[in-house]
Chain A
Amino acid sequence: MVAMAKPARSFFHRRPGHPRAARWRIWVQAAFLLVWLDPLTVRLHTVCSPVFHCYSCPLATFACPIGVLANFSALHQIPYLAVGTLLLVGSLVGSLVCGWACPFGFLQDLLGRIPTPKFALPGWLGYCRYAVLGGLVLWVPYVWGEGHPLFFCRVCPAGAVEGALPHVAGQAITGQAIDWPGAAKIAILLVFVGMTLFTWRPWCTLFCPLGAIYGLCNRFSFFFVRLDPGACSDCDLCRDLCHLRGISERRAGPTRCIRCLECTGCRALGIGTAFSRKRA
């Protein structure tokens, strides 16, 4: 059911088959962090970002698309801007955003570098993301409004890390009365941090509604991971390289893939576009 995954490695360790592009990933993620966490305090909260980042974060540049979807559902409105942003980015690059730009994914990647034994979760658990998207992001807010304890933002661990905890720290430093976040939010955060030590990107794998949307977009996006069947020797190196078990039948297009491009260390897999002649 739960398989033992490969041990964590150090930041810059290069293993056989580790592709050049993927070696740059941590730097690209760090660079994107400067876009989402703007130190120049440019606040564009009228615009949705394509990544999962809480707009209550004191340094957040943009609004979180999932927070916008949930709140607009509570207001019984259609968020055209958020839907358009997700559709545009998703159809261009799919879940490449998750692997290379998402700050919450970056945080999980950093925590995942702690050398503890990692377990791979079964693939079917990825369907929980669609339950979260349909249930907590759309249905609960629409029916019960934003005051419901299961309203997505009330249980979101990204909101706890990026929004609630910095506000609590700020209130404590400035001597104001501390407005503690909900117990459920903190409990979920602790469980999530605990899980991150023992499995790769648990939030992305199990619960992320944004990953669910981009996962669907993986099926038709311009950019994809291409398989060259002629070069495949059934060595299963691609599966070994994939942290998230995103490769099924050596096809790197399933909805679990975050397009970290680690699997392109295998010579049978490469980056492709809709204009490529071969496709996985």
Chain B
Amino acid sequence: MGVIVQRVLVPAAAVLAGIAAMLYGAMYHRAPVAQQEIEEREVEEEVAKTIRVPVPVAPGAGSAPWGGVGSGQKPEPGGETAPPGTAFVTQTVKVLETVRRPFQVTKIQEVPEPAMIFEITVGGIAWSPHGLRRTYAPGEPPPSLCPT
């Protein structure tokens, strides 16, 4: 009886260790994987804009070369109506504007072990000195069906 217990003890311990390792791997083991993604962000940028600036015209200065009072030029539709004695000059100025631009960002994802096993079957995760990184962007096809 004692011999049988001895024989059973080691494989039973190994079976339990195997089940424990599988459960830990399937449910708890995760690894940080860096993912390069393209993300749109709102940024303030200097944008060149063409604007019409009203400038006063001195009486008797004659026809302004750029148009305006005395030039007989009509104001643009929707444009400002020039008060008497005012002309407009077109200028390009830089103004701050909020725009959306694509940025490459690095996101760290906690990848569970089963997903990592799948990723290595398609060469989807690689090691680098800074940590693990995914080799393809989301939505793209994986690098290879046969990594080697």
Contact = CB atoms under 8 A, between A and B. Distances in A.
A56 B145 contact: yes
Interface in B10-33: 10-11, 14-15, 17-26, 29, 31
Contacts of B115: 46
A277 to B, nearest CB: 8
A279 to B, nearest CB: 7
Q: How large is the interface on B (under 10, 10 to 19, 20 to 34, 35 or more residues)?
A: 35 or more
A145 B129 CA distance: 11
Contacts of B126: 75, 145-146
Interface residues of A, number: 53
B85 interface: no
B146 interface: yes
Interface string A57-92: 010000100011001101111111111111111111
Interface string B74-113: 0000000000000000000000000000000000000001
A68 B18 contact: no
Indicate the member of B14, B18, B24, B148 with the most A CB atoms within 10 Å: B148
Given A275-B8, A279-B7, 20 more contacts: A45-B121, A46-B115, A46-B117, A46-B118, A47-B114, A56-B145, A72-B120, A75-B120, A78-B29, A82-B25, A84-B19, A84-B25, A87-B14, A87-B21, A88-B19, A145-B126, A145-B127, A164-B146, A217-B14, A274-B8
Interface of A: 45-48, 55-56, 58, 63, 67-68, 71-72, 74-92, 145-146, 151, 153-154, 156, 159, 163-164, 167, 179, 181-182, 185, 217, 220-222, 274-275, 277, 279
